[in-house]
Structure 1
Amino acid sequence: MMIIANTILKDEKNGTDLISTLSDVQLGASTMARRVSAMSGNLADQLDRDLAKCRWFSIQCDGSVDSSSTAQLLVFIRMVFEDFSTREELLTLLPLKTTTRGVDIYNTVKEFFVQKKVPLEKLVAVTTDGAPAMIGRQTGFIAHCKADPDFPKFLHYHCIIHQQALCAKVIGFGHVMTPVVKIINICSKAKQHRIFKVLLEELSAEYGDLLLHAEIRWLSRGRVLHRFLSLLGEIKEFMQSKGEDISLLEDTEWTLDLAFLTDITGKLNHLNCELQGKGKTVVDMISALNAFKPKMNIFSVGLQRKKVLHFPSVQSVLKDNASASETFDKVAEKYCEVINRLGQEFENRFCDLDQLEPCVSFISNPFMNVDTTCFAEQLSTTFNLDAGQVEIEIITLQNDLHLKAYQAAPNFWCLVDTEKYSGVCTAAMKVASLFGSTYLCESAFSDMNFIKNKHRTRLTDAHLKDSLTVAVSSYTPDYNTLVNSMQCQSSH
């Protein structure tokens, strides 16, 4: 830093004074660690203040292992305030030193809640992955929380993104994926890889390389398959030059299966991307899922009629291979069965949301036609409200001409009198607090692994938590307060 300062500032007015001031900046390793810890503490104080002010909150939990093989549990919180604004923040990072059973997770989280004095009465929902330690019926983390009288009655559901990925696995098609992965592995070996890339350059191929496949990220195969299919001609030529058997790659039915798998995983990838991202509410996710379900029916009906309008890769194979049409007529029914099986899996796995969906729909559109009595009971059961009060409030609200004029306003619930409509406003706030996935945890694990990488395995759990908090927090440290609390000592 001082080399840059001397170069840039030496000819500037007051340059000497500026250089002298910069030379006093403390940059020692231990000093930097203390500064990060101080910023993390300041951010935690801001979170504590918001946690005290918020009306309701939900949490998402997920676990992973860091570079030193320590199991780490990430907990994110989504708070909703009186004005219906929301905030998502990292609540804590908790190391699990020994085993990672449901009771271990529960004890660790409960100890943190007690120590932090988290107002558990404001808890609305908990979103987790589908691991037995989390959702086991008798011994899972959620089961222990629900058995604890300190916890209120809360909603729980399995991460929507994880569920969608599990749905995708029912497609199968191992007879396609296994050879693809094997061929990619052959082409990715150092010497073979160099030769293959040269061949692609000579042939002016659409892509300059193949993508590697990672089984842990099942939906990553969408891009892998698309790239593989696009380079199929070049791959055949390369394999043939190496004396490899390419009879499978020239099989028309197998090529159609490859194209179909490419298309259907591409559609699942697109849905997966719609479900990811910060600020995604359960409303956004349910909407995306509800839009995808009827699309599968359209795909199935189209294939039954031998139409491939929604399958561009299959279209391409049929266009380039004159004999493929006859083969397609034979396999179209198989593709229909795959899509129908996928649709059924979606119905089975997302039945947890059936109870929540009507409530979410009403909050999104409070003037929709509903059976007031039945719906009031459902809303009150879901969110622990008084059914009689909610029923009267729904009738009154739906006949409020002033509010009806603002029904399309994005901030509609901010305009509703929270005293007059306390029940439905509480329901609206609770819906606003809901996570739909553990995406924030998944994203933060990437940051965690970058911070505590193979070169920094001795980083303590406390320092890891501080560094991660500073990295992912949406709060800004109060630098003036921090600076005023520091005693300046020049670097040596």
Structure 2
Amino acid sequence: MAEAPAKKAITYHFHPEWEEEFIFTLVKDKCVCMLCHQTQALSKRGNLERHHNTNHPKFKDIFPPKSAIRAKRVLELKSGLKVQQSLFVKPVNRLKAATEASFRVSHLLAKHKKPFTDGELMKEAMAIVANTVFNDFKNKDDIKAALSSVPLGPATVTRRVESLSEDVDQQVLRDLARCEYFSVQLDESLDVTDTAQLIDSTTKEDFLTVLHLKDRTRGEDIFKEFKKYVQDNKVPIIKLVAITTDGAPAMHGVRLGFVALCRNDSAFPEFMTYHCVIHQQALVGKVLDFSHVMSLVVKLINSIRAKALQHHLFKALMDELDASYGDLILHADVRWLSRGKVLQRFVDLLPNIKTFLSTRNEVHEELSNGAWLLDLGFMTDITAKLNALNTELQGKNRHLSHMISAVNAFKAKLCVWTTHLNSRKLTHFPNLEKMTQAIQDKDAFHPDQYCAHLDKVAADIMEDITTFVSNPFQSTDVMKREKFPLLTACALKLSAYFGSTYLCEMAFSQMKIIKSKYRSCLTDVHLTDCLRLAVCSYEPNYKELADTILSQPSH
């Protein structure tokens, strides 16, 4: 037996003339009586008429149908209903705004690497501003109440940071799913509690995640954590085209290095891997064997600055001599640009340093030795040039082509500098020129020995990693994806390559500030959340986040 066809649902529409006839109006698809505020689920004429005649039978006696006074009364009732509804809507909107404001302030705190407890300080500051700036405003009480309703307690800020981090993380993962190719850069460092932290960044030059290595930091440990992250977050690893690392054994071990393990895993595609260009450039400086210069410079600086009294006396001497610099700066091996700055400051203050050492009856023959002073001048100049290259290679949006161009330009400059040195032109070596003028033995200057050092730098500087197709889509007439699919795919892959691990290094610098000795108990999860918000360029969806939670005023 065939089933009876289902009845088609009937749709009832509200007619505008019913407002004056039955004193009903439509609010959010529901018929609301403007006299008693009761609602009718269906917009049926019979329902509205029955309700009006049953509950308000005397209304037609006071306000006759189709009369001017009835029309005026309906407008008054309708306006009053809107005002009454706004009284309920406004507090809800204010709570939503306060919740959104708490998200924005929490993001600001995380961006500036501030602790969660600073939310209360921000709120106290807002209260001071409100009491001072808005004191003469007529609505000052409303302003103060609105600011005081923003929830910024430590627990609230913590939850907000967690939600913001999750939102940004999902945006990054969505972009990874949509992109055609991506590459990663990885680097490992220790936090203030000596916990190894491995940072990943993606081809959009943004932060991906922190992997917390609790035990050992071998290649298999790094691979295990990375593979787990890829699987848990459904990262499309098949789109990976390149991995950039710092060249450590744990990364590039032949059999058990991270890269080797990735190549041997069937889930990974074929990909390029190479040593960070900036790390390579920093290693080039080590081929210059001027330890006899640097050791004495560091020794003298430490002897002056290590003891408070000596340091105080030296600064007093600088003030007395009206030196251009008021003090020496310390050298740190872990900072790439430190050596050049220390040497330049030392050279500029050398006469003052000699004067200060003489007051202590301290003699160092090297400071009067022409050959040593010439080496000092040359090392100061070449280190400054290497620092300039290093700085040019750093920063965001430094594509591989730009880095290779910078390195090739430096190679060309080395040839020019060598030619000038051979002809005793010291225009590009101001400190070396200064020392040749200061020493008494003019025969101590042998340009050929410094040219040999420049040749060594040119020979050991990194080789080009790859040739690069520069902006192949600039002209659509010349290059079309449909016409040259293989070439465009190759260009897209190359454009995804990272030339350095600069983003990782930058993130480590931020991590040192976030997880300082004053916040050493920060959990790994919260460290990841804070670091992501501090370095990521993605903007969280504040309004959507505010709509997902129940807004409550601050207590």
Matches within 5 A, 1:336-415: 336-346=451-461, 350-351=462-463, 353-354=464-465, 356-357=466-467, 360=468, 363-364=469-470, 411-412=474-475
Q: Does 1:118 align with 2:235?
A: yes
Q: Does 1:302 align with 2:420?
A: yes
Cα deviation 1:336-375 (Å, max 9, x = unaligned): 22222222211xxx34x35x12xx1xx1287xxxxxxxxx
Residues 414 and 70 of structure 1: CA distance in aligned 2, closer, same or farther (over 3 Å)? farther
Equivalent residue letter for 2:515: K
C-alpha distance in 2 between matches for 1:488 and 1:68: 37
C-alpha distance in 1 between matches for 2:316 and 2:408: 46
One of 145, 163, 171 as aligned partner of 1:20: 145
Aligned twin of 1:426: 489
One of 157, 163, 166 as aligned partner of 1:38: 163
Equivalent residue letter for 2:539: T
Matches within 5 A, 1:100-139: 100-139=217-256
Bigger CA radius of gyration: 2
C-alpha distance in 2 between matches for 1:482 and 1:278: 29
SS in 1 for 2:409: helix
Q: Does 1:215 align with 2:343?
A: no
SS in 1 for 2:518: coil
Q: Does 1:456 align with 2:519?
A: yes
1:219 is displaced (CA, Å) by 4.0
C-alpha distance in 2 between matches for 1:412 and 1:257: 52
1:6 is displaced (CA, Å) by 2.2
1:424 is displaced (CA, Å) by 1.1
Q: Does 1:251 align with 2:369?
A: yes
Q: Does 1:3 align with 2:128?
A: yes
One of 423, 432, 443 as aligned partner of 1:326: 443
Aligned residues: 429
1:294 is displaced (CA, Å) by 2.3
1:319 is displaced (CA, Å) by 2.7
Residues 365 and 40 of structure 1: CA distance in aligned 2, closer, same or farther (over 3 Å)? closer
Equivalent residue letter for 1:33: T
Whether the 8 Å contact between 1:121 and 1:152 is mirrored in structure 2 is yes
Aligned twin of 1:479: 542
Cα deviation 1:77-120 (Å, max 9, x = unaligned): 01xxxxxxxx3211111101110000000010011001111111
Q: Does 1:315 align with 2:433?
A: yes
SS in 2 for 1:272: helix
C-alpha distance in 2 between matches for 1:72 and 1:411: 40
Residues 435 and 8 of structure 1: CA distance in aligned 2, closer, same or farther (over 3 Å)? same
C-alpha distance in 1 between matches for 2:480 and 2:450: 53
One of 251, 271, 286 as aligned partner of 2:389: 271
One of 345, 354, 357 as aligned partner of 1:236: 354
Equivalent residue letter for 1:114: Q
Equivalent residue letter for 2:140: G
- Tell me how large the CA RMSD over aligned residues is: 1.6
C-alpha distance in 2 between matches for 1:132 and 1:246: 41
1:218 is displaced (CA, Å) by 4.8
Structure-1-length-normalised TM-score: 0.84
Equivalent residue letter for 2:282: A
Structure 1 residues not aligned, in runs of 5+:
79-86, 367-409
State the percentage of identical aligned residues: 47
Equivalent residue letter for 2:377: A
Structure 2 residues not aligned, in runs of 5+:
1-123
Aligned twin of 2:212: 95
Ranked by relative contact order (alpha carbons within 8 Å, sequence separation 6 or more), the top structure is 1
C-alpha distance in 2 between matches for 1:172 and 1:29: 53
Aligned twin of 1:54: 179
C-alpha distance in 1 between matches for 2:217 and 2:475: 44
Residues 414 and 214 of structure 1: CA distance in aligned 2, closer, same or farther (over 3 Å)? farther
Aligned twin of 2:89: none
1:414 is displaced (CA, Å) by 10
SS in 1 for 2:255: coil
SS in 1 for 2:368: coil
Equivalent residue letter for 2:448: E
Q: Does 1:283 align with 2:422?
A: no
C-alpha distance in 2 between matches for 1:458 and 1:411: 51
C-alpha distance in 1 between matches for 2:170 and 2:193: 29
SS in 2 for 1:434: coil
Aligned twin of 2:96: none
SS in 2 for 1:279: coil
C-alpha distance in 1 between matches for 2:330 and 2:161: 37
SS in 2 for 1:364: coil
C-alpha distance in 2 between matches for 1:260 and 1:114: 53
Whether the 8 Å contact between 1:413 and 1:428 is mirrored in structure 2 is no
C-alpha distance in 2 between matches for 1:414 and 1:483: 47
Aligned twin of 1:82: none
Whether the 8 Å contact between 1:102 and 1:139 is mirrored in structure 2 is yes
Equivalent residue letter for 1:455: Y
C-alpha distance in 2 between matches for 1:364 and 1:441: 25
Residues 268 and 24 of structure 1: CA distance in aligned 2, closer, same or farther (over 3 Å)? same
Equivalent residue letter for 2:153: G
One of 183, 194, 203 as aligned partner of 2:321: 203
